[in-house]
Chains A and B, each alone.
Chain A
Amino acid sequence: NAGVTQTPKFQVLKTGQSMTLQCAQDMNHEYMSWYRQDPGMGLRLIHYSVGAGITDQGEVPNGYNVSRSTTEDFPLRLLSAAPSQTSVYFCASSYSRTGAAGELFFGEGSRLTVL
C-alpha cells in the first residue's frame, strides 16, 4: 500500500522562487493536511482540507496556498519562498475529520531549504 506519498523529498530554492510540494493518498481519506516541523517547535498545521473543493487555514498559513480538486491530491504551493520557510513539511490524511474517529497517516516528509 502506498499510503501518503510526498514529492519531492528534498528541495533547495532561492529566495523569491516558487514551487509546489505534491501530496497524494490512495486511502480515499476525506481529511488531508499540511504540517511543518521545525526544531523545538513540534509540528504546526499550515492548511487543511475536509474534502474535495474545501480548504481552510491552520495555525501558520502565511506564504502558502493549497487546493483540493480531487480526493487524492492536496498540493502545497509556495508562491515566493523565504528563508523562514526552510523546514520539513509533512502531509497527513485521515478517513475522518474528527480526532475521535481515527488517526493521521503521514507522508515521509519533504525537506525544503530556502537560501
Chain B
Amino acid sequence: AQSVSQHNHHVILSEAASLELGCNYSYGGTVNLFWYVQYPGQHLQLLLKYFSGDPLVKGIKGFEAEFIKSKFSFNLRKPSVQWSDTAEYFCAVNTNTGFQKLVFGTGTRLLVSP
C-alpha cells in the first residue's frame, strides 16, 4: 500500500528564512503528487501539483516543489517565508487510478514569527 511520510511535524521559522518541508512516498509506479495548505480556520487548498514533465513545479504564493523520482521525494520549498505562510502543509500522493487512492501525509505545522 502507498504511504506518505512528512518527517517534520512542527517547524518554526522567522520571517525571511528559507523553507524546505520534506515529503517521501512509497510507491514504485507512476504517481501524481500534491501539496495542500490549510491556513488557520480555513479549508485545505491546493498549493501545487505534479503530474508529469518538468520535475520542478511552481505553485501559488512563491512555493515550489521538486520531484526526485530516485529518492521518492517531493519536497516543498520557499526562499523567503512570510508571517502569512503560517499554516499546516499536507503532502499527498496518488496514482492515475483516482482520488479514492489519494494518500495524505500527517502534515507539517509551520509557524512563522514576525
Contact = CB atoms under 8 A, between A and B. Distances in A.
Contacts, number: 66
Contacts of B49: 103
Contact of A97 (B98, B106, B107): B98
A53 interface: no
B50 to A, nearest CB: 11
A72 B103 CA distance: 24
B26 interface: no
A97 B97 CA distance: 8
Interface stretch (A14-22, A42-50, A73-81): A42-50
B100 A48 contact: yes
B98 A41 contact: no
A58 B42 contact: no
Of listed B9, B49, B97, B98, residue having the most chain A CB within 10 A:
B98
Contact of B43 (A31, A40, A58, A108): A108
A6 to B, nearest CB: 9
Contact of B46 (A33, A43, A90, A103): A103
Given A106-B43, A106-B45, A42 B107 contact: yes
Of listed A31, A35, A100, A104, residue having the most chain B CB within 10 A:
A100
Interface string B31-59: 01010100000111110010100000000
Interface string B15-38: 000000000000000001010100
Interface of B: 4, 9, 32, 34, 36, 42-46, 49, 51, 90, 94-102, 104-107
6 contacts: A42-B4, A43-B104, A98-B96, A99-B96, A100-B32, A104-B102
